[in-house]
Structures are given as structure tokens and as C-alpha cells.
Amino acid sequence: MSKHNVVSDADQVPFLPSSTTLPPCIVLGLETQIGLGIVRELGRAGVPVIGIAHESSAIGLASRYLTRSLVIQEPRSAQLLAAIHALGEELGACCLLAVSEANLSWLAQHRQDFGRVRPVVPQEETLAIVLDKQRTLQAGRDVGLTVPQTVEPTSMQHVTELAATFTFPAVLKWKDPNKIAKKLAALGLQLVKAEYVQTPSEFQAAAGRYAPLGEWPMMQAYCAGMGLGQFFYMCKGQAVRRFQHLRIAEWPPEGGFSSVCDAVALHHHVELQEKSIALLRHIGWEGVAMVEYRWDPLTDRAVLMEINGRYWGSYPLAVHCKAGFALLAYHEGSGLALPQLPPPRQDIRCRMVATEIKRLARIFLQPKLIADRSFRVRRTWELWRFITDFLRPNVRYYVWSIRDMKPLMADLRNLFRKSH
């Protein structure tokens, strides 16, 4: 393996403590709080963790819970495949957990090529369903879930027809962002994961950008409410672990990923949990998954948005609550009996302060950039919550940990570099 493509920290940290009997686990994708959370969860359980990152600045590389680390500069490459295969030859049989959908797809395609390393990934066909939002919504209809009105334009003529008949406001989303990203980039177009259009003319203007591509994002009816995530570990068709959270604040403010989220007690939304499990069974899903809804607290109406067949952006909340999803995947992927875990905590709030600051700046200084015009701007409430959350004893953080402080330092360095 080329030294230019692979950087090893093995000389700095001994690989395997002689006292351990647990097989090692490889974690692919340390650039975000998700991979960092997985490393911390496994490391605290005594699992020797080998981390692979694509960037030397990845915050997960700074974690004290890593036993060893590699930096492979080219993602999903022959060099990465060779590095993983070599680790299996050196370490013996072990499993691999990955973060991103792109890496999961790549691992699923090459699952037989990693030698003694077993990637914990879903089957390709099952993964293809959750990566395609149209297929996901159809599966939701099949099990009786409420889904948003959704149409996929096929031509500019179709766009004109939809502009005259669809109920606005609406949100434009690509049915498979991973597949369309390269096509957009080739035409100099930006991938916009969710674009709000308030009127027929706004819709036509947005759709017009994609006329050279000949493909258009789905048009989805706007759904009021908050992000409600339900999380499961499916094993042989059974939900052996469940957890749920509510998004308290999101970036961007009108909806995206959570910058603040609360664990929700499992005696809430019980019927919806069972429907989520029925959905995962219906598509034959095994392993970890997030079923995401837009939930309106005023009407108690929950509308299916998507399935994330991966570890999600707010995974640190699950780690702080000791939900143990990565630990379950590690045990199953290593051929070990699933551990008996205590009930997860249900009283924790988790936040990403840097994203919260960016969110406050948008609300206070750039409210006209908030695309959802129904978003209620409450400046005093937002600022008060931001300040008082520092004083609440049940608040935890996406990156900061008193027992593992270096990732925050790495994150601050990255933010400084980006701002200069």
C-alpha cells in the first residue's frame, strides 16, 4: 500500500491489549460525530477499534478510544479495499462498521472481496429500496403508513401540468441523492437535498434549472411538524432494540438535520413504532435503521419521510443514552451472542453547539433566508433555550466529552481552518 494513500498511527498506540478477548472492529468513516460516536461506544465496551478515515483532519482520529488508525485518501478505491483486506490478514476474522450510504453501497457490492473482514452491511437490493425515496414511500403505503403526496416530474411539460394542479407549498427532493450527485456536478449544478417552493412559479423556476439534465427531483407536499426519528436493530425479523428522539432544533431552521434533539420515552408513539417495525420487516431489513417522520404535535399526525439504513447524524444521543446499536452490530458481525442491554435512558438532550450558533445567526441576522415561510421565528425563546441548555444537568454534546476531549480540539481546528 502506498504511503501517500495510507497513513498509519500504529507506532503511537499498541494494537491489542494482551488482556482482551474481544475481536477487533474496523470503523470506516471518522470525519463526523457519527463515526466518533461509534468509536466511543465500542471503545468504552472494551472493543479494540481500528479507525479508517479519508481525511487526516477527521475528528474521530483524535479519540482516545481508537486502538489504531489509517488514513486512506481515496474513498472507495482499490487502495482502501487492499488496506481492509490486509487488516484481516493481520488481525484475523473481524467485522467492519461503516457510516455513509456511499460506503455502505460500495461495501455491499464488494462484500466477498475483503478476505477475513466481514462488512456489516445490508443486502444490495434491500439497501436500494431505502436509498430510493419513491420505493420507500411505496413500502410505507403497503403497511398502512401515512405518506406525503409525492410526484416525480418526467419533463418540462409535466412540470407545467404539476404547477397547475399540485397543492403548494411543496418541497423538492431527489429520490436518490447519492446517484444524482455526480450528474449534477458534471453540469455545474449543486445538489440541494430539500428545496422549498411556495408557488407554481417558484416550482417552475426551480425545475427549469434541471432541464439540461433531463431529470427532476420529486415534488413532495409540505408537511408541518417536527422531526421524529424511530430507531431499531432488526435481527432475524425481530426488533431487538428500539429508541426514538424528537428534533428540538434543526439546521437549516426550516428542517434538515438535528442540532438539538431529545430522547423520547418508549411508551410514546407505541402504535407508530409497531408500524415502523412492520415497514422494516416488509422490505426485509436487517441491522440498524432509522425510520423518520414529520410529526405534528397539534394533530398527532405522523407522515413518513424516509428510512436511513445507516447510523444517523444525531447518533451521539443514542450513545449517551446507552442504546447500544453499534455494539449490537459488532456482536452480530463478529459471530458473538447479542448482549443483554439495559433499557436506554430516556431523559437526555444532545446538542451540537457550533451548528446551534450558525442556526441562531440565521434566525437573528438572516431570517429572510429561511425557506419555509411558515417557520415561526422566536428569537427570545431560541436564545433563552440556547443559554439555559448549558445549565441543564441532562444535556450532553455531539462532540464534547470530558473523557475524550481531543476530538473537540480537532473540530475547533477544522472550523478555524474553514473560516480562513
285's grid cell: 431489513
pLDDT at 227: 95
* pLDDT of 8 strictly over 80: no
Mean pLDDT, range 311-339, rounded to an integer: 97
What does the pLDDT look like over 28-47, one tens digit per residue?
999 999 999 999 999 999 99
pLDDT at 20: 52
In tens, the pLDDT along 94-115 reads 999 999 999 999 999 999 999 9
pLDDT band at 402 (very low <50, low <70, confident <90, very high): very high
- Range name among 7-16, 77-86, 100-109 with the lowest pLDDT average: 7-16
Residue ranges of E strands in 175-225: 195-197, 218-221
The residue type of 240 is V
State whether CATH 3.30.70.360 applies to domain 6-121.
no
Summarize the confidence of residues 227-244 as an average pLDDT. 97
Task: Please determine, for residue 18, whether its predicted confidence score (pLDDT) is greater than 70.
Answer: no
- Domain residue spans in the chain? 6-121, 149-221, 226-418
Q: How confident is the model over 151-164, as a mean pLDDT?
A: 96
Sign of CA dihedral 66, 70, 75, 81: negative
> Which residue would you say has higher pLDDT here, 279 or 17?
279
| Topology (CATH) of 226-418 | D-amino Acid Aminotransferase; Chain A, domain 1 (3.30.470)
Helix axis angle for 133-142 and 124-131, nearest 10°, is: 90
Q: Which CATH fold topology does 149-221 show? A: Dna Ligase; domain 1 (3.30.1490)
> CA–CA separation, 325 vs 240, rounded Å?
10
Mean pLDDT of 106-133: 95
Q: What pLDDT sits at residue 1?
A: 37
Q: Is pLDDT of 117 > 80? A: yes
Cα 40 to Cα 9, 229, 302, 398, 401, distances in angstroms = 18, 22, 32, 11, 10
- Asked whether the predicted pLDDT for residue 19 surpasses 50, the reply is no
Distance separating alpha carbons of residues 253 and 379, to the nearest angstrom = 12
Tens of pLDDT, residues 328-368: 999 999 999 999 999 999 999 999 999 999 999 999 999 99
